[in-house]
Amino acid sequence: MHLFYGSNGERPRRCGIRLRAVAQSAARELGPKNIHVAHLIIDSGVDTAWVRDRIKAAEGEEALANLEPGRLMNPASVAQAYWQLYQQPRDAWTFELDIRPSAEKW
């Protein structure tokens, strides 16, 4: 399960808490069947054409041209986080993983 939290929205956080509970329930049920369930928090935009279009629409062309380094995550980096979860040995599974770029404001 995954959810884009966003750094400044209360509504996504409430939704995330509910999704986390669903993921915990699924992990309890499916873990004994050797199915790894994890809850990922992606606390940033992922650098895709869709996200860049949203930034341009909301903040303008200049904002897009002057994106701060580290504002968006590389899709390959997000994929790597998922891949690392997939490769975890059964005796050391991660349930919750929070990923964000180094420039993300807490």
Query: Residue 13: what pLDDT?
Result: 54
The pTM score is: 0.75
In contact, 46 and 99? CB cutoff 8 Å: no
Work out the pLDDT band at 61, boundaries 50, 70, 90.
Answer: very high
Say which residue the tokens 């939704």 belong to: 15
Number of domains, the chain:
1
Could you give the strand order of the β-sheet that contains 96-99, starting from the edge strand earlier in sequence?
2-4, 39-42, 96-99
- 38 falls within a domain: yes
CA 92 to the chain's CA centroid: 21
Query: Residue 12: what pLDDT?
Result: 53
* DSSP H/E element including 41: strand 39-42
Integer-rounded Cα Rg, in Å, for the chain is 16
- 73 falls within a domain: yes
- 106 falls within a domain: no
Domain that holds residue 16: 2-99
- 60 falls within a domain: yes
- 105 falls within a domain: no
Query: What single-letter DSSP state applies at residue 75?
Result: H
Work out the pLDDT band at 68, boundaries 50, 70, 90.
Answer: confident
Provide, for the chain, the percentages of residues in helix, strand and coil under a 3-state DSSP scheme, each rounded to the nearest 5: 50, 15, 35
- 67 falls within a domain: yes
How do residues 27-56 score in pLDDT, each as one tens digit?
A: 999 999 999 999 998 888 899 999 999 999
- 55 Cβ partners below 8 Å, 6+ apart? 45, 63, 64, 67
pLDDT greater than 70 at residue 4: no
Share of the chain above pLDDT 70, in %: 84
- 104 falls within a domain: no
- 45 falls within a domain: yes
CA 29 to the chain's CA centroid: 23
How do residues 92-101 score in pLDDT, each as one tens digit?
A: 999 999 999 8
Question: What is the rounded average pLDDT of the residues 16-34?
Answer: 90
